[in-house]
């Protein structure tokens, strides 16, 4: 799935289950390793991490379709002024919010934290992000101005990419 506008783009793709064999655990059996490629005016980077559960993945395409249909409210910061994405997941590597909507276009924020964050956002100097050391979840976001048709194409592509990964 590719979400892009002007000088920024976020491409996400499910690669595999984190664990090839099932164990009967609804979480471990359904973690998907997500590959991300990100381009912004400040830099490019990629990541691979078990970031989403299969059901969460399906929720992402539903959310994109709801945004395109005008059924998602614009997200505002929380009372402390912190980012408050409208679509979050169990692992906080990825999150999404709708920052604005006008004339069949949506201004999306793709929030990238922890393993998905840009390398220059690392807090502890060893190349890893550590939530306990003060890393601000959801602070880094890629802003994307997308038309409704692009959101629907992205949702369709995401669903196609997910087809080999049913809930187990």
Q: What is the pLDDT of residues 124-139, one digit of tens each?
A: 544 444 444 446 789 8
Q: How far is the first Cα of the chain from the last one, in angstroms, to the nearest whole number?
A: 23
Whether 163 has a pLDDT exceeding 80, the answer reads yes
How far apart CA 118 and CA 154 sit, in angstroms, is: 22
Q: Given this model, what pLDDT does residue 50 score? A: 97
H or E segment and range at residue 152: helix 148-162
pTM score: 0.90
pLDDT tens-digit map of 29-74: 999 999 999 999 999 999 999 999 999 999 999 999 999 999 999 9
At the topology level, CATH places domain 2-162 in Transcriptional Co-activator pc4; Chain A (2.30.31)
For tokens 């190349």, the residue is: 127
Q: Given this model, what pLDDT does residue 133 score? A: 47
Under 8 Å CB-to-CB from 142, ≥6 apart: which residues? 8, 9, 10, 38, 40, 109, 110, 112
Residue 45 has, within 13 A of its CA and on its CB side, a CA count of: 16
Contact between 51 and 89 under an 8 Å Cβ cutoff? The reply is yes
Cross-strand bridge partners of residue 35: 13, 48
């Amino acid at each position: 799935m590719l979400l892009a506008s002007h000088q920024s783009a976020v491409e996400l793709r499910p690669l595999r289950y984190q664990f090839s064999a099932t164990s009967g655990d609804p979480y471990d059996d359904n973690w998907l390793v997500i590959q991300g490629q990100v381009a912004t005016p400040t830099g490019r980077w990629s990541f691979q991490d078990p970031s989403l559960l299969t059901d969460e993945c399906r929720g992402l395409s539903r959310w994109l379709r709801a945004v395109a249909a005008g059924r998602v409210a614009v997200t505002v910061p929380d009372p402390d002024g912190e980012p408050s994405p409208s679509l979050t997941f169990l692992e906080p590597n990825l999150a999404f919010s709708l920052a604005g909507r006008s004339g069949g276009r949506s201004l999306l924020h793709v929030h990238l934290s922890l393993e998905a964050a840009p390398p220059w956002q690392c807090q502890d100097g060893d190349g890893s992000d550590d939530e306990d050391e003060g890393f601000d979840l959801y602070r880094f976001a890629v802003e994307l101005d997308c038309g409704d048709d692009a959101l629907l194409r992205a949702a369709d592509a995401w669903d196609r990419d997910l087809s080999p990964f049913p809930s187990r």
